[in-house]
Amino acid sequence: MAGFYHETNTFAPFGADLDDFVKGGGWPAMTTGTAIFDVMRKIEIPIGGFILAAGDGYELIPLVWTAAEPSTYVSDEAFERIADMITDGLARCGEFDAVYLDLHGAMVVRSHDDGEGELLRRVREVVGNIPVVVSLDLHANVTEAMVELSDGIAIFRTYPHIDMRETGRRALNLLEQRFRLGKPFAKALRKAPFLIPMPAQCTDVEPCRSLYAGLPGLEEGAVVSMDMAMGFPLADIYDCGPSVVVYGTDQASVAAAADRQLKSIVDSEEYFEMPLLDVKMAVKRAAQVGRRGSPVIIADVQDNPGCGATSDTVGLLKGMVEGGLRDSVLGLLWDPDAASASHVAGVGAELRLRLGGRYGYDEGPYEVDVRVEALFDQPFVANGPCLGGMEVNLGRMARLLILDPGSRVQVVVSSVRTQLWDQDFLRIVGIEPKDNAVVAVKSTVHFRADFAPIAQEILIVESPGANWSRADTLPYVNLRDEIRRMPASLATS
């Protein structure tokens, strides 16, 4: 078993080096050997689900699991070192019956557009024809190489991702069915003709809710497994986009099932929605209806670091202050310098800071007077549905009150770049989210798993950032000719 995660936004301003994978950022640090059992078994992650499902029925040989926060290209050094850890580990294992790889599916390396396909090619060179099964993220850009070089692929079916463990269990089930069959599955891959923006991929709303809810019922007869990936649209590669992957015991049945599911996606094109508001409209609406106990959630989707954005743009924060919001908070703003200065100053100190705005997506740093309300610099456990008990360390953190007489807006800054997955990210600095009238989150969809139950309303804001939601404005050069950059329902909105 091994894991190697990266979601690559080829339009983002900085990439992922080996040190980013060693540290992990918002993910667990690089973990090797039997420590993988201790770390992964207890958290919401596919390899953890695979381990739990295997129980005592299999001897599991864990090699390495590593991930880095989404960014632009993975460096060749990082890819080569980690790929070597996996293939060298396989070569040292002696005899074994199968390989399980916990991958993302949207990794782009400086020298390899299809990072997972290249990794699988190297794995095959070592292991030959023994079964290799893979789990992938819902945002995978599935390639022909991934399907050809593996025996089975299981893909998340929820966004927010609350079925990661379950996907690992399904990967084991797929492997067991492959064992029972005694030969490779019949398989089929189909690619959709349009990209789907990240906010429109949410499985809590239509059409993805119905598309995914119907999948289990389609796994019958000769069809052993059917999955879909919505794709990661911010990857300028040939294979970018949604896909359907089907496995079974009869090629004609598998191909027909794949064609039908692809048609379901295409027939749903007009129903994809992405109601983006400008900052002023969102702030005005939040001021009208937000109240303590039932807050309005404003999602700063285009500055979501979970899609490779910087998490340091200040357009929404400035709009909240200028719009006179009260009992309001924004998180997480990635600003190690502001966090460090706040720790030096101490709780209660008032100081002038230049917050965020380091990468040119908006008007630059937000120079403002603040009071340090709370500080934090320890690991903590995030118990929301997505992370499910994962220990997180965001380095030095600070809760700052913007000293503005016309508003009361707080901002939570962190030293590690990661999206605001769940409410515990705010509670550790003394904020109970439901006690605010407005909570602004730098996240696209994952926040919904923990924040939707307390939200009076969720507003999606179009503030600048590297997670562009309108792909038809991006300078792609490598997409295949036949794919459209937006669904028809959104192309003219």
| % the chain with pLDDT above 90 | 97
Spatial strand order in the sheet of 186-191: 186-191, 243-248, 223-229
Q: In the predicted model, what is the mean pLDDT of residues 208-213? A: 98
Q: In the predicted model, what is the mean pLDDT of residues 206-223? A: 97
Q: Which residues contact 152 (CB under 8 A, 6 or more apart)?
A: 131, 133, 134, 171, 174, 175, 177, 178, 185, 225, 247
pLDDT at 493 over 90: no
User: Is the distance from CB of 26 to CB of 392 less than 8 angstroms?
Assistant: yes
User: Is the distance from CB of 360 to CB of 449 less than 8 angstroms?
Assistant: no
Banded pLDDT at 155 (limits 50, 70, 90): very high
Q: In the predicted model, what is the mean pLDDT of residues 381-385? A: 95
What confidence score (pLDDT) does residue 176 get? 98
At how many degrees (to 10) do helices 46-54 and 164-181 cross?
A: 50
Here the tokens at position 320 are 């909240």
Cis omega before residue 46 (within 30°)? Answer: no
User: Is the distance from CB of 255 to CB of 188 less than 8 angstroms?
Assistant: yes
What confidence score (pLDDT) does residue 288 get? 95
User: In which element (H, E) is residue 337 found?
Assistant: helix 336-345
Q: Which residues contact 76 (CB under 8 A, 6 or more apart)?
A: 109, 110, 111
Q: What is this structure's pTM?
A: 0.96
Task: Find the radius of gyration of the CA atoms of the chain.
Answer: 22
pLDDT at 178 over 70: yes
Here the tokens at position 230 are 């919505």
User: What is the b/e burial string over 52-82, where b = at least 16 CB atoms within 10 angstroms of the residue's CB?
Assistant: ebbeeebebbbbbbbbbbbbbbbbeebbeeb
Task: State how far the alpha carbon of 408 is from the alpha carbons of 59, 60, 401, 404, in Å.
Answer: 56, 53, 7, 7
> Residue 152: CA atoms inside 13 Å, Cβ hemisphere, count?
31
What confidence score (pLDDT) does residue 363 get? 81
Banded pLDDT at 492 (limits 50, 70, 90): low
CA-nearest of 199, 140, 170 to 52 is 170
- For residues 25 and 167, give the distance between their C-alpha atoms in angstroms, rounded to a whole number: 23
Q: In the predicted model, what is the mean pLDDT of residues 325-345? A: 98
Banded pLDDT at 491 (limits 50, 70, 90): confident
At how many degrees (to 10) do helices 315-322 and 279-289 cross?
A: 50
Cα 314–Cα 320–Cα 322 angle in degrees, nearest 5: 100
Q: Which residues contact 137 (CB under 8 A, 6 or more apart)?
A: 5, 7, 104, 105, 106, 155, 156, 161, 229
Q: In the predicted model, what is the mean pLDDT of residues 453-457? A: 97
Mean pLDDT taken over the chain: 97
CA-nearest of 114, 141, 118 to 233 is 141
- For residues 360 and 13, give the distance between their C-alpha atoms in angstroms, rounded to a whole number: 10
Count CB atoms within 10 A of the CB of residue 351.
15
Boundaries of every domain in the chain: 2-271, 276-468
pLDDT at 462 over 90: yes
What confidence score (pLDDT) does residue 193 get? 98
Q: In the predicted model, what is the mean pLDDT of residues 285-290? A: 95
> Residue 117: CA atoms inside 13 Å, Cβ hemisphere, count?
17
What confidence score (pLDDT) does residue 364 get? 85
CA-nearest of 133, 368, 148, 311 to 239 is 148
Task: State how far the alpha carbon of 121 is from the alpha carbons of 22, 144, 148, in Å.
Answer: 24, 12, 10
Cα 228 to the center of its chain, rounded Å: 16
Question: Which residue is it, tokens 């000293």?
Answer: 403
- For residues 58 and 60, give the distance between their C-alpha atoms in angstroms, rounded to a whole number: 6
- For residues 364 and 41, give the distance between their C-alpha atoms in angstroms, rounded to a whole number: 42
pLDDT digits (tens, 9 = 90+) for 110-125: 999 999 999 999 999 9
What confidence score (pLDDT) does residue 372 get? 98
pLDDT at 105 over 70: yes
